[in-house]
Amino acid sequence: MPASLTTTEVYLIALGIIFTVPYLIWRIGRTDYFAPLVVVQIVTGILLGPGILGRVFPDYYAFVFTQPVIQSLNGVAWWAVMIFVWIAGIELDLRKAWTHRRESTITAGFALVTPLLFGSLVAVGLTMQQGWVGSGARSWQFVLGVGMACAVTALPILILLMEKLGILRQPVGQRILRYASLDDVAIWGVLALILMDWQRVGMQAAFLVAFAVCSYGFRKLMARLPERDRWYVGLIWLALCAFGADWSGLHFMVGAFLAGAVMDGDWFDQKQMDGLRHNVLLIVMPVFFLSTGLRTNWQVGGEAVFMTAALLLVASIAGKLLGVRIAGRILRWEPGEASIIGWLLQTKALIMIIFANILMDKGIITSETFTALLLMAVASTMLTVPVVTPKLQRLQRIVTQAA
């Protein structure tokens, strides 16, 4: 590093790259139809990682992304994704799912279990090869983790895409949110099972008991506070829950989700919540995408990683569409309805990336598996709008049709 540039200055250069490159690609390339800005930011994070920029321009990569700079970026990324997961927990509306429990349970169940099984079959094949299973994983953890990654629906990104399609506040949009909400709860529950450390099970049980007791008092307190104070107290609650989960051997992201899940969305103004989610995505989440890109690895070989990503993508899409189609048959949906819902529930970016980050942090998957999962998540999300848009145009009556 030249003597004239301090770590702070290089850090600011990195931030400039993080925000400039994806914006220019998105705006000049006019990618919004098939790749919203958030997807472009994820792809740019991969391009700026060691697998692409690090190989093509190793000197530039080594100059900008030094260890101190990466550590600073990671600190911002942790807080950004904690807030994002916390918001996802707050936006869960399980009361509506309970009101329509038969329809919601059947659809969410098949939409989750079928791609999980398909993805698990691919994962079983990967366990027979070297370089995919993490050093800290048992076989069942790896298989279940990869299978669940294929079943994930990214609720926050799903909301953004349905806003773009103009169906978020329509009956079909609210139905899809119910299905995704139930799957979101199941995803984090399975993650907690995967991360269960039987040597620290006492600490984990103590955290869950303490969390349940404190949640009761926390909810009573929040109901009495004015909305302005709820935001501050909610963030304090977020930090405490994340700390408790990480201390017990679970991951701080599990704590962040739990912190939001016990909060009611109607405690906050919906426009302010939408604005917060938008601002987090705009201001700090790009740092997380870059941080994610820095973790990609192609040492197993680019062809093997891409082939694995393709297999996972097929398992994910086929499993999700088949599962929703089975649910549609049981519930007697109209022709074409299951296809629209299945493709929208296929949206994976962000939550799946967060999920995969946790699996890699805990040594359950390798960086090669992480890269394949990341490519799968990006591809599945990019397919959503181009596939669903013409289907919605042909079947407009489904948009306003209540469950």
Q: What is the DSSP letter of 345?
A: T
Is the predicted pLDDT of residue 301 greater than 70, yes or no? no
Question: The pTM is what?
Answer: 0.81
For the chain, give me the number of helices (H) and strands (E)? 20, 0
Cα gap 365→356, rounded to integer Å: 8
Which of 70-79, 301-310, 325-334 is predicted least confidently? 301-310
Query: According to the model, what pLDDT value does residue 397 have?
Result: 60
pLDDT tens digits, 13-59: 999 988 998 899 989 988 887 777 878 888 888 788 776 777 788 88
Of 186, 147, 165, give the one whose Cα is nearest residue 320: 147
Residue 287's pLDDT band (boundaries 50, 70, 90)?
Answer: confident
Query: Are the beta carbons of 386 and 34 closer than 8 angstroms?
Result: yes
**Residue 63 or 395, more confident:** 63
Grouping H, G, I as helix, E, B as strand and the rest as coil, residue 133 is: strand
Cα gap 173→166, rounded to integer Å: 9
Q: Rounded mean pLDDT of 303-311? A: 91
Instruction: Please classify residue 169 by burial: count the beta carbons closer than 10 Å to its beta carbon, then call 0-12 exposed, 13-18 middle and 19+ buried.
Output: exposed
Cα gap 296→96, rounded to integer Å: 39
Query: CA separation (Å) from 217 to 128, 210, 222, 235?
Result: 49, 11, 9, 16
Cα gap 148→119, rounded to integer Å: 7
Instruction: Please classify residue 49 by burial: count the beta carbons closer than 10 Å to its beta carbon, then call 0-12 exposed, 13-18 middle and 19+ buried.
Output: buried
Cα gap 234→232, rounded to integer Å: 5
**Residue 99 or 113, more confident:** 113
Nearest 5°: the CA angle 257, 284, 373 is: 60
Backbone angles phi, psi at 390, to 5 degrees: -65, -30
Query: According to the model, what pLDDT value does residue 117 have?
Result: 96
Residues 6+ apart with CB under 8 A from 57: none
Length of the chain equals: 403
Is the predicted pLDDT of residue 396 greater than 70, yes or no? no
Grouping H, G, I as helix, E, B as strand and the rest as coil, residue 341 is: helix
Residue 297's pLDDT band (boundaries 50, 70, 90)?
Answer: low
Query: According to the model, what pLDDT value does residue 119 have?
Result: 96
**C-alpha dihedral over 313, 279, 367, 312, to 10 degrees?**
-10
